[in-house]
Structure 1
Amino acid sequence: MAAPLSDSKKLTALLIVSISLFAAIAIFFGGLLGFYGIVALFLLFSIIFTYFVKKLTSFETHTVVTLLRTRKPLWIFDRFAHHSRLLDFLTEAGLVLGFGAIAVDYLHGRKAGGMKRAALFAFTVLFLIALLFGIDLLFNNAFSEGVLTKNFFFILSLVFGLMGFAGFTIAILAMQAVQIVSQYLVGERACPGVAPLIPGIEIPSVPVVIPAHAWISLILILIIHEAMHGIVSRKEKIPVKSTGLLLFGFIPIGGFVEPDEKKLLAAEEKKQLRVYAAGPAANLAAFAGLNIFLVAVFLLIGATIAPWANEIRDKSVAGVEIVGVQEKIEFCGKTYGSSSFGQLREGMKVNEINGKKVQRIDQITSEISSTRFQPITLTVDLNGLAEQILLVPNELGSFGFIVQNIPASDFNPPQEFLLYSQFISLFADFFGWFILLNFLLALMNFLPIPTFDGGRIAPLLLHRYLGAFNLPEEKAKKTIVKFFLYTLVSLFILNALPLFI
């Protein structure tokens, strides 16, 4: 007689069947169903999948959610938990980045007192403002020159200095909410400020589509996040009951570590804060480490393989030509001008950009990226007549022209070059999204709202500032939780309006 199937094998079989059926229907009938039809189909499959998981296995289920608990990885937490100094530094640095000068005041300022405390607070604010300027440069002036934030970048910087990424994200959500409401009041469409993060799915009104391979990044990010919670819990001598994966239907949406809640709440505040900050701190550390890794890899490629690759690229193309000129650019319900319209024409060959010779598209994109939001000068050629044209970017940083390489008719690149180009493109895209999603998940988890790590951090850090109201400690903590809950739920609703209206 055959041995009965284990729960894990039953679950695997259910996953294979559910994903295969859903994918087949979505592929063949996706055009007919549309986005909301596919969402409804997914919810139906999720309910059916979770029902069979409940009937056939012992895993814990809740309507469309399944918790896959295990104790197998817990020994890994213990193995890494002895690096106490490194873990203390990582979690406290994460706490400071998450909650700014307020966190520094809690960790060190209270002990100093008087002028030293005020000086430390002011120094932290200035240091974090300088750090935000560095982050802004890393993201090509996305905040200081962004349409939404450029007029308020100083205020954003000050908020970041005072309350770290938690305050920064709340401020961004508030700005987006104001913009969405103001656009609706004048009859304009708007892009949502928040949206579901579903790789491979194009969501209506959302101008960005996350590639399907980002599912791998998301799973790795969640592992990093939850594993660090477990490691720091064990470092602080707090037992971990289990760890595991959270499924919404048949899709993994998160991981979890389940510490002993009673012992965690009984621990001293500083230990609790380290445990709560560990997850987003690990994501920020991964964000920084991966950036360094990517820079090192491309420097190595630049010193070794790039000269060979660039030589082949130069032989593969006969120049760059303009294949499109936009009269106007529409983005999130607003229309922006195009300085290229009326100056550039299709068929023009681009010879130079800002005085630098152009042979390939990447030379144009690289120059525009390095001088983002700055005017550029193109030297173009049409029917043998050379002309210099000054172009000014619009508020989006766009010039409104489209270019493509002119293939060289007498050269076929070798197969190894084509494989190299495909690999580099996939490598850069994968790690680019991996880095960005680490950063976004850290920001989200610092938000001071229940279910996120910041929702547990904020009451511990802030309740002392309500001392003037003579509130008992527990009541002060509950007041802080309610304030941020009502504020952030309201902001989330306003930011999500364009998804439905």
Structure 2
Amino acid sequence: MTGPEVESEKAGQRRIGFNFPMLTVRTQMFSGVFDMLGSLRASRLISWIALIIVPIVASIGLYLISNSLFTLLWTPTARDITRELGPGAYLLLPGINPFLPILYGWVAIICAIAVHEGAHGVIARNRGMKVRSSGLLFFLVIPVGAFVDVDEKQLAKAKSKDSLRVMAAGVGGNIVVAVVCILSVLVIVSGLTPIIDGVYVSDVMDGMPAEEAGLLAEDVFVSVDNVEIGNFEELKALLENKDPGDVVQVIVARGEMWEDRFSTSVNLTESEDRTVMGVTVGDLMTEERLRFYQALAPETFSMYLVPPALAPGLVPFSDSLALFYTHGLGAQWHVLANVLFWLWFVNVNVAVFNALPIYPLDGGRMFNISLKSILGRRVGEKIVLRITIAVTGTLIFVLLMIAVIPFIL
């Protein structure tokens, strides 16, 4: 890498630009960071690793796209579920995507874009290319992204391997952050201890015996008529041997850490030919859920791509399950777990999308550069450009089909 070659802002290039509703702020303040990190020997090694990562990530992305297309075409249930989620579920935008929390989502998106663009800047400097400026993007006053302005003329004139390494850096940076974050999530989950297990009351029906007896949502059954209740089947079997009008003695756990015990008598009633108390219940299975999430295995890996709100009964740090576990980090352990999860989720999605051979995404530009290097002399740049456009158009068409199929079939 040569000495500092970060250009001052060009004449006519405004430091602050506003094109409603987007605000762009350019700065030179990160130039020293790019120079420092780019001068490290590790940056050279990382750039080669990123170059290997991108085709792998692109292959995963293409597999996911093709699998989604065929699943939607041949599985009516998949179309129904996707239709219920709504078109917003396709967008990685907090407030529009119903499963992407606003606070965690924006933090993760800003970090992912900063990592992606920053990695481009670091490797560009490592390869001796100029970084004209960097900056932040705002939606009105809300920060929504970042950018690094690498000298495009130098990038175009550089050796193919150098251009490819600069292009690959963004995806590589996102993958590194994603892997670190999901491993950190698993470390946190490995330190969880279930507070309680058993049958959980999720709802108490109005006007039913359970309400009159003082049972509350979030109670956990301890025993009924001195018979310990460990799961729903045991509670169901006990009630099947009772008749409407029978009175049962119920003990539940409640309060902070479920340390309190509340005992009450419930006068059973009948509903839909069944003897009931008037509660909606479910098995907590805190031990089983924890072991399942901790078991990092190929067949369960897709679980780590599922947002907590979409599978609250599977994710230990979801709003539904977090209260049933304790951790040495303290009461707010689940906040850290959620931050790390969303950093993983958003970074891996940004990486996969940008690795796709869609021009002008990083993957598309790398595809074009690679074709020029391999076929350019034999078929000419026009043919290479046509191939790039054809691949880009095909993938965009497939993505549009995935988006509309649930709503037209």
Instruction: Output the CA distance in 2 between the equivalents of 1:64 and 1:401.
Output: 35
Q: Kindly indicate whether residue 93 of structure 2 is the aligned counterpart of residue 198 of structure 1.
A: yes
Please tell me whether the aligned partners of residues 135 and 146 of structure 2 are also in contact (alpha carbons under 8 angstroms). Answer: yes
Give the aligned partner of residue 493 of structure 1: 400
Higher fraction of helix: 1
Please tell me whether the aligned partners of residues 23 and 139 of structure 2 are also in contact (alpha carbons under 8 angstroms). Answer: yes
User: Any gaps of 5 or more consecutive residues in structure 2?
Assistant: 1-13, 203-230, 238-282, 300-305, 315-322
| Cα displacement string for residues 269-294 of structure 1 (whole angstroms, at most 9, x for unaligned residues) | 11111111111111111122334444
TM superposition score normalised by structure 1: 0.51
Q: Which amino acid in structure 2 is aligned with residue 242 of structure 1?
A: S
Find the partner of 2:26 among 45, 52, 69: 69
Find the partner of 2:351 among 442, 445, 448: 442
Instruction: Output the CA distance in 2 between the equivalents of 1:80 and 1:402.
Output: 43
TM alignment of 1:122-133, pairs within 5 A: none
Q: Which amino acid in structure 2 is aligned with residue 478 of structure 1?
A: L
Find the partner of 2:286 among 352, 362, 366: 362
Please tell me whether the aligned partners of residues 188 and 337 of structure 2 are also in contact (alpha carbons under 8 angstroms). Answer: no
Please tell me whether the aligned partners of residues 136 and 146 of structure 2 are also in contact (alpha carbons under 8 angstroms). Answer: yes
Instruction: Output the CA distance in 1 between the equivalents of 2:22 and 2:164.
Output: 28
Q: Kindly indicate whether residue 197 of structure 2 is the aligned counterpart of residue 240 of structure 1.
A: no
TM superposition score normalised by structure 2: 0.62
Instruction: Output the CA distance in 1 between the equivalents of 2:120 and 2:234.
Output: 56
Report the CA distance between 1:322 and its aligned residue.
Answer: 5.8
TM alignment of 1:109-188, pairs within 5 A: 164-182=56-74, 188=80
Bigger RCO of structures 1 and 2 (CA < 8 A, at least 6 apart): 2
Q: Which amino acid in structure 1 is aligned with residue 162 of structure 2?
A: K
Please tell me whether the aligned partners of residues 447 and 454 of structure 1 are also in contact (alpha carbons under 8 angstroms). Answer: yes
Instruction: Output the CA distance in 2 between the equivalents of 1:167 and 1:401.
Output: 30
Instruction: Output the CA distance in 2 between the equivalents of 1:97 and 1:418.
Output: 35
Find the partner of 2:390 among 473, 483, 488: 483
Instruction: Output the CA distance in 2 between the equivalents of 1:246 and 1:487.
Output: 30
Q: Kindly indicate whether residue 39 of structure 2 is the aligned counterpart of residue 97 of structure 1.
A: no
Find the partner of 2:160 among 258, 266, 269: 269
Instruction: Output the CA distance in 2 between the equivalents of 1:277 and 1:455.
Output: 11
The structure that has the greater radius of gyration is: 2
Please tell me whether the aligned partners of residues 193 and 495 of structure 1 are also in contact (alpha carbons under 8 angstroms). Answer: no
Instruction: Output the CA distance in 2 between the equivalents of 1:290 and 1:401.
Output: 20
TM alignment of 1:14-93, pairs within 5 A: 59-84=16-41, 86-93=42-49
Over the aligned positions, Cα root-mean-square deviation in angstroms equals: 4.1
Q: Kindly indicate whether residue 317 of structure 2 is the aligned counterpart of residue 422 of structure 1.
A: no
Instruction: Output the CA distance in 1 between the equivalents of 2:402 and 2:394.
Output: 12
Give the aligned partner of residue 471 of structure 1: 379
SS at match of 2:402: helix
Find the partner of 1:452 among 343, 355, 361: 361
Distance 1:177 1:194, change over 3 A: farther
Instruction: Output the CA distance in 1 between the equivalents of 2:389 and 2:89.
Output: 21
Q: Which amino acid in structure 1 is aligned with residue 16 of structure 2?
A: F
Distance 1:371 1:292, change over 3 A: closer
Report the CA distance between 1:488 and its aligned residue.
Answer: 1.5
User: What percent of counterpart residues are identical?
Assistant: 23
SS at match of 1:69: strand
Report the CA distance between 1:364 and its aligned residue.
Answer: 2.5
Report the CA distance between 1:185 and its aligned residue.
Answer: 12
Instruction: Output the CA distance in 2 between the equivalents of 1:438 and 1:373.
Output: 20
Instruction: Output the CA distance in 2 between the equivalents of 1:260 and 1:371.
Output: 42
Instruction: Output the CA distance in 1 between the equivalents of 2:361 and 2:89.
Output: 16
TM alignment of 1:223-372, pairs within 5 A: 223-295=114-186, 302=191, 313=195, 317=196, 319-321=197-199, 347-348=235-236, 361-369=285-293, 370=295
Instruction: Output the CA distance in 2 between the equivalents of 1:175 and 1:167.
Output: 12
Report the CA distance between 1:465 and its aligned residue.
Answer: 5.2
- Count matched residues: 300
Report the CA distance between 1:493 and its aligned residue.
Answer: 0.9
Instruction: Output the CA distance in 1 between the equivalents of 2:110 and 2:392.
Output: 27
| Cα displacement string for residues 246-266 of structure 1 (whole angstroms, at most 9, x for unaligned residues) | 234544332110011111111
Please tell me whether the aligned partners of residues 193 and 496 of structure 1 are also in contact (alpha carbons under 8 angstroms). Answer: no
| Cα displacement string for residues 398-444 of structure 1 (whole angstroms, at most 9, x for unaligned residues) | xx9989xxxxxxxxx9xxx7995531111111111112221111111
Q: Which stretch of structure 1 is more off in the superposition, 455-464 or 253-262? A: 455-464
Instruction: Output the CA distance in 2 between the equivalents of 1:458 and 1:401.
Output: 39
